[in-house]
Structure 1
Amino acid sequence: MNDLQQGRHDLPKLMFCMLFILIMMITSFWVIQPFIMDLAWAVMVVIATWPLLIKLQILLWGRRSLAVIIMTLLLILFFVIPIALLVNSLLANSAPLIAWASSPANMHFPAMEWLNAVPLVGGKVYNSWHSLIAGGGNEILAKLRPYVGETATWFVAQAAHLGRFVVHLTLMVLFSILFYFHGERVAQGIRRFAVRLADKKGDSTVVLAAQAIRAVALGVVVTALIQAILGGIALAIAGIPYVTLLTVLMFILCVAQLGPLLVLIPAIIWLYWSGDPIWGSLLLVWSCILGTFDAVLRPALIRKGADLPMILILFGVIGGLLSLGMIGLFIGPVVLAVSYRLLSAWIDERVKS
Structure 2
Amino acid sequence: MATLRPIDPRLPRTLLDTLIRAGLIATLVVACYEIFRPFLSLMAWSLILAVTLYPLHGMLKRRIGGGEGRSATLLVIIAVAILLVPTYLLGASLTESVESVIAVIKADGVHIPAPPPNVADWPLIGKPLYAFWAQIASDVTSALQQAAPHLKGAALGLLGKLAGASVGLLAFIGALIIAGIIMSYGQSGHQSALRIANRVVAEGHGRDMVALCTATIRAVAQGVIGIAFIQMLLIAAGFILKGVPGAGLLALAVLILGITQLPATLITLPVIAYVFFAEGATLATIIFAIYTFFAGLADNVLKPLLLGRGVDVPMPVILIGALGGMVVGGIIGLFIGPVLLAVGYKLFWQWVDQQPADALPEPQDEA
Please report the TM-score for the alignment, with normalisation by the length of structure 1.
Answer: 0.67
Q: Which residue of 2 aligns with 1:239?
A: 244
CA distance in 2, matches of 1:254, 1:110: 39
CA pair 298-57 structure 1, distance change in 2 beyond 3 A: farther
Q: Which residue of 2 aligns with 1:175?
A: 178
Larger radius of gyration: 2
1:46 to 35, 50, 56: 50
What is the CA-CA distance between 1:189 and the residue it aligns to?
0.8
Preserved contact between residue 231 and residue 298 of structure 2 (Cα < 8 Å):
no
1:164-204 residue CA offsets vs partner (Å, 9 max, x unmatched): 33442332122112111101211211220121122234443
1:147 to 145, 150, 155: 150
**Aligned letter for 1:17?**
R
RMSD: 5.2
The DSSP-based 3-state class of the residue aligned with 1:148 is: helix
CA distance in 1, matches of 2:101, 2:77: 35
Q: Which residue of 1 aligns with 2:160?
A: 157
CA distance in 2, matches of 1:150, 1:246: 27
Q: Does 1:23 align with 2:27?
A: yes
Q: Does 1:304 align with 2:304?
A: no
CA distance in 2, matches of 1:148, 1:302: 40
Percent of aligned pairs with the same residue? 17
CA distance in 2, matches of 1:316, 1:190: 23
Q: Which residue of 2 aligns with 1:331?
A: 332
Q: Which residue of 1 aligns with 2:63?
A: 59
Preserved contact between residue 80 and residue 166 of structure 1 (Cα < 8 Å):
no
Q: Which runs of 5+ in 2 are unaligned?
A: 1-7, 137-141, 356-367
Preserved contact between residue 279 and residue 285 of structure 2 (Cα < 8 Å):
no
CA pair 165-311 structure 1, distance change in 2 beyond 3 A: same
2:326 to 317, 334, 338: 317
Q: Which residue of 2 aligns with 1:120?
A: none
**Aligned letter for 2:45?**
W
CA distance in 2, matches of 1:106, 1:311: 52
CA pair 184-346 structure 1, distance change in 2 beyond 3 A: same
CA pair 254-125 structure 1, distance change in 2 beyond 3 A: farther
2:79 to 70, 75, 92: 75
CA distance in 2, matches of 1:197, 1:82: 44
Mapping for residues 93-172 of structure 1, pairs under 5 Å:
110-111=113-114, 124=118, 132-133=130-131, 138=136, 143-172=146-175
CA distance in 2, matches of 1:319, 1:97: 41
Preserved contact between residue 255 and residue 317 of structure 1 (Cα < 8 Å):
no
Preserved contact between residue 232 and residue 243 of structure 1 (Cα < 8 Å):
yes
Q: Which residue of 2 aligns with 1:191?
A: 194
Q: Which residue of 2 aligns with 1:36?
A: 40
What is the CA-CA distance between 1:125 and the residue it aligns to?
5.5
What is the CA-CA distance between 1:246 and the residue it aligns to?
8.4
Q: Does 1:219 align with 2:229?
A: no
Preserved contact between residue 57 and residue 71 of structure 2 (Cα < 8 Å):
yes
CA distance in 1, matches of 2:88, 2:162: 11
Q: Which runs of 5+ in 1 are unaligned?
A: 116-122, 321-327
Preserved contact between residue 165 and residue 262 of structure 2 (Cα < 8 Å):
no
What is the CA-CA distance between 1:249 and the residue it aligns to?
6.4
Mapping for residues 265-304 of structure 1, pairs under 5 Å:
267=272, 270=275, 274=280, 303-304=309-310
**Aligned letter for 1:238?**
G
Q: Which residue of 2 aligns with 1:340?
A: 341
Preserved contact between residue 108 and residue 141 of structure 1 (Cα < 8 Å):
no
CA distance in 2, matches of 1:153, 1:108: 26
CA pair 341-37 structure 1, distance change in 2 beyond 3 A: same
The DSSP-based 3-state class of the residue aligned with 2:201 is: helix
The count of aligned residue pairs is 329
CA distance in 2, matches of 1:74, 1:298: 31
CA distance in 1, matches of 2:34, 2:92: 33
**Aligned letter for 2:326?**
V
Preserved contact between residue 98 and residue 153 of structure 1 (Cα < 8 Å):
no
**Aligned letter for 1:344?**
Y
